[in-house]
Each structure stands twice: as C-alpha cells, then as structure tokens.
Structure 1
Amino acid sequence: MWAGVMDANDQDIPEFFTAKPKRRGLRLGRKKSNVIVRNAGHIMPFPVNVAFEKFSDFSRHSEWNPSISSATYIDDSRTKVRWTRETMGFTIGWSTITTVKDPNKALAWKSIEGIKLENRVIFQSVDEGKGTLMIMSTNYKVPEKVFVPSRKVVGKSKTRAYNNTYESDQMKEILVRFGEIVAKELKHDEMYFL
C-alpha cells in the first residue's frame, strides 16, 4: 500500500530499514525458522513532530499495543526499557535499548535481554506537513516452546517483499490505534485551550 510512496531507492529511508534482515522468515531456505518479520505503514492525521514525540515515549506503548502489558524505563537516559506481555498463559519479559533516535525521521530499538527482537519506525511528513506516514518493521524470535502453536496462530503469510517481510494486519491495527489515540488527545487539548 505505502510502497508507492517510498521505495528502496528513496534516499530519505535509513539503511537499517531497507537492509535485508540477517535472519529469515518462517519457511525460507531449507530450514524452518522461528523468526517472524513483519511490517506495516499508516498515514497519521497529525504532523511528524507530534508522531515522533508520542511514539518515542515507550512507556505509553501499552496504550495502543494490546500485546504489551507494560513498558518501563530502567535508566535515567531513557534509552533502556523493560517490557512485559501476557501470552498463552505465560508472562514474558524482555529489555531493549534504543539504537536510533533521529528526531522526526527514524526510531529503532532492539532487545538486550529476553526475547530477541528488533523494531524500526520511519516517519515522513505528508500532506504539506499536516500528516505523517509511519512505516514500522519488526522481527522477533518466537521461543522454541511456543513456536509450533504460534505458527498456527500466525497462519499463512502474505506475499513477501524483496527483504523477506510481509505486511502485518496486527501491526497495521497498532498504528491505526496509535493514530486514533493521539488525534483524540490533540483534539481534547485543542478544546481545552480555546
């Protein structure tokens, strides 16, 4: 959907987003892998500086991502975060560190403890600065004990892009929910200051 807006030759896209992932998806190559790679894009109805500011506050991610139970900063520099989620009767926790924080352009974080994952988001101003295109990519390793059942939940993957990813409805819903929550907050603030 958003591939026509930005492609791999666009110089504004950071290399970390367009580079091929080191690990492969569920059924690529001869071996089955428990690494899942997903991406999604959505246009937000507010400027890029608002999108970046709100999304880069990891402590709020549980508000728009139902699979996150909590996210708490564990250092004063606000670069390390402890995450938890409830899944299949288990509480899973992991810690991440912010690897890229380029204001209004790109945000990336990866795990340093627990579940192996990497997340990347790029932000691009659209609609003469009134909106923001956000493209999010994630890859994570499903624990071996839950890999087989989770493959049934994941189901058949959609057509993969050149970098072995596919668009995820779940991630799209997270971005849509983020847009709705922030737009509602902005409308509330606007009414408050009138």
Structure 2
Amino acid sequence: MPQVNIGNIVTLDVAKKEELPKFKRDLQEAFAVSVVETFGSDLDEPIPSDKDIEESFNAAGAVIYHILSNGKKAGGAVLIIDEMTQHNSLALFFISVNEHGHGIGYKAWKAIEEKYPETKVWKTHTPYFEKRNIHFYVNKCGFQIVEYFNKHHPDPHTPDDKDVPGGEDFFRFEKVMKR
C-alpha cells in the first residue's frame, strides 16, 4: 500500500496556452492506465480523444488548471464554470500516473471547492469501469450518482460513436453544495 504524504501541499495553477499540448498528453497517459488494466490491451487511439479534450479546453467557461503537489505538477483539471447558474462541471480530472495513491486527488478536489465557494452544484461523469473514480467521487468527495447512461438510456449530450471502451456506459454524478 502506498504511503500517503500528509505534508504535501496541493495547489492549483492556471495552465498557459503553450502548456496545453503536454497537459493533453499527461491526461491521456493517466486515463490509459485504467483502460489497459480493465481491457488488457494498448489503445489504438488516445483516451480521451484529442477532439474531446480540445472541446473541453474551448468550452464556454472553461478553466484549465495544473494540480501542483509541493510546487511540482502532479495532475490537472478542466472545469466549466457557469457564472450565472453556479452549476459547474468537472469536465476532466487526472492525477499523473506516478503520483497515484498519495492523497493528491482529494486535496486537489478540496482546493477546487475552495476556489469556487459560490458553486451550488458540481457535476461530472466517468465510465462505468472506472472503479477508482467511482469510489473517489462517491466515497471521498461526496458526489452522488444521479444517472446511468447506457445503450437503453443514451446520454443526449454526447455522440453515438464513443471512443472509450465500453462505449456509452457512463455514470453522471452531482454534488449539491451546502451553504
């Protein structure tokens, strides 16, 4: 079992435009680990696709952060902030492969919540096979599963041609913030 470094200080730093290509590669590398573990093969295409990541980067209200642990890049997050409704989304979130198991993800999530105290509801999603993510969002961060997308109940906001193994099977999560 990995040691948790209680002393690590986790902060957020806005990613610069010239850093986005590396941010994208790091994100895809982190996401690939679970896919390979679950489905046992290397990927033909990166997950998420370049197109999906670019759409998140360019979405209205997008804010892209590096997650820093003691000043060193340890992951990243893409948030979609809706200033009007304060129903905000965690579009993409990752901890670098060599940083898993050190408590950085939870501290990063707490830093995000602190950065956006006016948020009424946080929303996110994850593929059904991402057991670590489901545990993290539900048991650690306090999200609730509010919808299960599958072939009988497709997500109306995503195209039919899912590039993730397992296709259309996704959970949608929400966390209603208490004031």
Which has the higher relative contact order, 1 or 2, with Cα contacts under 8 A spaced 6 or more apart?
1
Q: Which has the higher strand share?
A: 1
TM > 0.5 fold call: no
Max Rg structure:
1
